[in-house]
């Protein structure tokens, strides 16, 4: 990650674009400039069409990569160039105001957590289950044996709660966390399960996650991946297999393929 002593940046918002230009510009309309906040845009698209559509803002740093680095690679590219003490990994298919981002940051610091997630709400008002737990063997042996995430029914949560895992659409992370866990695993994960893998590494290091339902983000979901459903399914199955092999070995991956525990 970049030298954070260069500028007085407290928070870096990192967003990956893959042919979602309209969504990115809509997001920037709500994510207005604020002192100490920078926006890192990493463009994985095949063509540099977004640049001309971006507002002329000093807080927005745009990087056209020229190839698709995937979710993990794109975010790691952004992290390497971010100057903030805090990093907010935010999907391009979301809408959130600067005020809500700063509210999540404030509550995370106040509660002395290093990682947090907001409430994700679909345009139709449905609340997504984006946080959860990793069970012990005594709690749920099958979940434990397959490192299976158990998601919290977020529609029933009305106050901040501590959890084990969060999904990749919106992740607030202190920069010190990456020194303990490493970055997102872009060597093994292109798309899907990189967030669960990262969460599992958080869990192994004893780093809890704050879920704050008072901070709400509109999440459209699947804007990039749904452009090619065949590739989406292929990426999902690959990510699942890699996740199981990495944390539970080849036997777990083979058994999952037979009994479909996770898919």
In a domain, 194, yes or no: yes
The pLDDT score that the predictor gives to residue 247 is 85
Q: The tokens of 85 are what? A: 């003490």
User: What domain range includes position 176?
Assistant: 11-222
> Looking up tokens 């995937």, which residue turns up?
70
How far, in Å, CA of 197 to CA of 247, rounded? 8
Q: The tokens of 83 are what? A: 């100057």
Beta bridge partners of 210: 116, 162
In a domain, 201, yes or no: yes
Q: What sections of the chain are H helices per DSSP?
A: 21-30, 70-79, 98-110, 141-145, 175-181, 194-204, 229-248, 250-259
Question: Are residues 31 and 99 in contact, defined by beta-carbon separation less than 8 angstroms?
Answer: no
Between strands 161-163 and 86-90, the pairing is unpaired
The CATH number given to whatever domain includes residue 169 is: 3.90.550.10
> Looking up tokens 């659409």, which residue turns up?
169
In a domain, 20, yes or no: yes
The pLDDT score that the predictor gives to residue 229 is 65
How far, in Å, CA of 94 to CA of 169, rounded? 8
In a domain, 58, yes or no: yes
How far, in Å, CA of 258 to CA of 86, rounded? 42
In a domain, 254, yes or no: no
Question: Are residues 208 and 115 in contact, defined by beta-carbon separation less than 8 angstroms?
Answer: yes
Per-residue DSSP letter, 128: P
Question: Are residues 88 and 171 in contact, defined by beta-carbon separation less than 8 angstroms?
Answer: yes
In a domain, 115, yes or no: yes
User: Given CA atoms 113, 242, 225, 125 in this order, what sign does their dihedral have?
Assistant: negative
Instruction: Please give the tally of structural domains in the chain.
Output: 1
Q: What is the pLDDT along the chain (263 residues), one digit of tens a residue?
A: 665 445 689 999 999 999 999 999 999 999 999 999 999 999 999 999 999 999 999 999 999 999 999 999 999 999 999 999 999 999 999 999 999 999 999 999 999 999 999 999 999 999 999 999 999 999 998 888 888 899 999 999 999 999 999 999 999 999 999 999 999 999 998 878 999 999 999 999 999 999 999 999 999 975 444 455 676 677 777 778 888 889 888 777 777 766 665 54
| Biggest CA pair distance of the chain | 55
213 sits in which H/E element: strand 209-219
Query: CA dihedral defined by 165, 167, 172, 174, rounded to 10 degrees?
Result: 50
In a domain, 1, yes or no: no
Q: The tokens of 80 are what? A: 């390497």
User: Given CA atoms 181, 184, 185, 186 in this order, what sign does their dihedral have?
Assistant: negative
In a domain, 82, yes or no: yes
The pLDDT score that the predictor gives to residue 251 is 78
């Amino acid at each position: 990650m970049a030298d954070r002593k260069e500028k007085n940046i407290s928070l870096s918002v990192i967003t990956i674009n893959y042919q979602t230009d309209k969504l990115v510009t809509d997001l920037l309309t709500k994510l207005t400039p604020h002192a100490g906040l920078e926006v890192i845009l990493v463009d994985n698209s095949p063509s540099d069409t977004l640049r001309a559509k971006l507002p002329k803002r000093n807080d927005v740093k745009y990087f056209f990569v020229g190839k698709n680095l995937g979710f993990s690679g794109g975010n790691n590219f952004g992290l390497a160039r971010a100057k903030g003490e805090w990093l907010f990994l935010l999907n391009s298919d979301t809408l959130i105001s600067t005020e809500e981002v700063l509210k999540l940051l404030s509550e995370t610091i106040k509660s002395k957590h290093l990682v947090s997630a907001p409430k994700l709400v679909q345009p139709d008002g449905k609340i997504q289950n984006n946080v959860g737990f990793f069970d012990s063997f005594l709690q749920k042996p099958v979940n434990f044996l397959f490192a299976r995430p158990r998601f919290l029914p977020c529609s029933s949560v009305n106050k901040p709660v501590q959890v084990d895992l969060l999904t990749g659409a919106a992740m607030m992370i202190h920069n010190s966390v990456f020194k303990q866990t490493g970055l997102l695993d872009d060597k093994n994960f292109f798309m899907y399960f990189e967030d669960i893998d990262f969460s599992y590494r958080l869990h192994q290091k004893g780093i809890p996650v704050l879920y704050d339902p008072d901070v709400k983000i509109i999440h459209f979901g699947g804007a990039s991946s749904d452009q090619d459903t065949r590739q989406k399914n292929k990426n999902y199955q690959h990510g699942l297999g890699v996740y199981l092999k990495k944390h539970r070995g080849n036997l777990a991956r083979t058994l999952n393929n037979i009994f479909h525990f996770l898919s």
